[in-house]
A and B are shown apart, each in its own frame.
Chain A
Amino acid sequence: MRWFGAAVAIAANTWRDAIRSKVLYVLLFFALLLIATSATLATLSYVERERILQDVSLAAIRFFGAAIAIFVGVGLVHREVDRRTIFTILSKPVDRSAFIAGKYLGLVATLWALLAVMSLCFVLASLAAGAPLGMAHAIALGLIAVELAVVVAFATLFSSFSTPFLAGCFSLGIYLLGHLTRNLHAIGKTSISPVVREFTLIVKRSLPDLEAFNRTIEAVHGLPISGAEVGWSVAMGLAWTFGFLLAAVMAFERRDFR
């Protein structure tokens, strides 16, 4: 009970801290601007205007959501150490694991609130353009929420033991590779070299498959999404999140705060 109380208090404080970040509002502004602009872009086309609008909007939501997650996430723990606010927190009856969990939950809550704002704009833009909205759109947005939770988890891991710059580089690398693992593996499978085949398989298995959270095509084209696929994506997201956070706690437990 004490563990949860401390984690919730830290999460609430992280939320208050995060919503003051100027970077967050700048990125949110550009995301909303891109969604609004997509409506204009769609008018330039004679065909599939609604699809262009939704395609660009969902891409904007995914890109800016991840950018905010990485920008804010990489400084999440480091800032507390750098500002020395960690001294007064960890000297209280607060487990280091509760601290990591609280910081993580606070930022995820912030990102989900931003995602809600961007989703609302997406819905309004779609309605204004007369574009269809259905369950597939809700699933696509829900899986973006899961992807953001995974991105914040690995940003938190890197933030727990390195500087924001290095954590940013690592996080960006994982994010990009995470979206390429399927393609890399597909290319690797066609290779005649067993080394390349094995290497791409190892890369695929050792990184989260972030494309599993991308259901933009299905949403935009009204294609069916099976419940099993969604369930698998969510389960995989939860497993990777847990794994990254566990590693973050293990790294954080070993640290000295000089």
Chain B
Amino acid sequence: MERDTIVRVSHLVKDFRPGFGLRRKRVLHGIDLEVRRGEIFGFVGPNGAGKTTTLKILMGLIRATEGEARILGHDVRETAFREHIGFAPESPYFYDFLTGAETLEFYARLCAVPRARRKQRVREVLAQVGLAAAADARLRTYSKGMLQRIGIAQAIVHDPSVVFLDEPMSGLDPVGRKEIRDLVAQLNADGKTIFMNTHILSDVETICDRVAIIVEGRIAYQGELEGALPVGERRFDATFSALSPEFADEAEARFGAELSGRGERITLRVIEKHVSELLQCALAHGARIEEVVPVRLGLEALFLEAVAGKIQGDAR
């Protein structure tokens, strides 16, 4: 395993038995993943695609049927290395009779945080997630956002180097989402590698360095957001003023351009190979070039194309 690879998943397969019969349902079809040191990795996909199953295999909660999953070079079926990783499940459940501080102390004990350091560490983490004032309140009095934060707090109480988050923004209002997003960014700035399962694409787009899109148990795309499509298929928006209607019609017919805009400024969207020809023709027709910008493929577009099966493979 390369030194900078924190998580490596190779040909991971998982079959479940829906009932008592012998029939098996395959939910992961040999997926491969790689998460690098120091990045925020977004693992996205529609509901039922296999995100949580993958994460549970990584956390040792589910055994893989085939394939291999390693974190920090260790087989995920091992236990001792887990002191270097943290996990916050989706909509976390805790012992609601404990206070926030008692909860963190319990998890710190499980992670063998030394007794002398435990109380101080609990205080630090509570402050870090913004729950210092609620440290002595029982969890049954916590709001959804506070529980989400205590979920992240228990994941980092032992100061792990890799943090796995399952739908950390799920069910939160915009303010709560921003708070969690900022917290994740802060953890990453502190040097932690983050693996984040989510279906909130705008959050992924805002903070993730790389993404993997999983559809029906298969990785449809993995890599940076840029470069998701082949270079020849990249599109550009060319904006003109003083564009004659005749030329606009010609551009539509000749280059397959999509027209938009009103009044003086008209934008023509064309694929990369037509850009220079379009600009030459436009200048010959007396149009003025205002700007030419590449169209950035948003995650939503990438996601929808992946779900529709238009993107296949790995762009690592």
Contact = CB atoms under 8 A, between A and B. Distances in A.
Given A17-B95, A91-B82, A9 B61 contact: no
B62 interface: yes
B92 interface: yes
Given A93-B82, A257-B61, A87 B110 contact: no
A256 B95 CA distance: 22
A89 B112 CA distance: 13
Contacts of A8: 109
A2 B169 CA distance: 33
A5 B62 contact: no
A93 B16 contact: no
A92 B95 contact: no
Indicate the size class of the contact surface on chain A: 20 to 34
A9 B111 CA distance: 10
B56 interface: yes
Interface string A1-28: 1100110111001001100100000000
Interface residues of B, number: 34
A258 B59 CA distance: 12
A102 to B, nearest CB: 10
B63 interface: yes
Contacts of A85: 93-95
Contacts of B154: 88
Interface string A230-258: 00000000000000000000000000111
Nearest to B113: A5
Contacts of A20: 97
B221 interface: no
B97 A93 contact: no
A86 B97 CA distance: 16
Given A88-B107, A91-B60, A257-B61, A17 B97 contact: yes
B209 interface: no
Given A16-B97, A20-B97, A95-B79, A90 B61 contact: yes
B167 to A, nearest CB: 13
Interface of B: 16, 53, 56, 59-63, 79-83, 85, 87-89, 92-95, 97-98, 106-107, 109-112, 151, 154-155, 158, 164
Interface of A: 1-2, 5-6, 8-10, 13, 16-17, 20, 83-95, 256-258
21 contacts: A2-B112, A5-B112, A9-B109, A16-B95, A17-B97, A20-B97, A84-B89, A85-B95, A87-B87, A87-B89, A89-B110, A90-B61, A91-B60, A91-B85, A92-B82, A92-B83, A92-B110, A93-B79, A93-B111, A256-B62, A258-B62
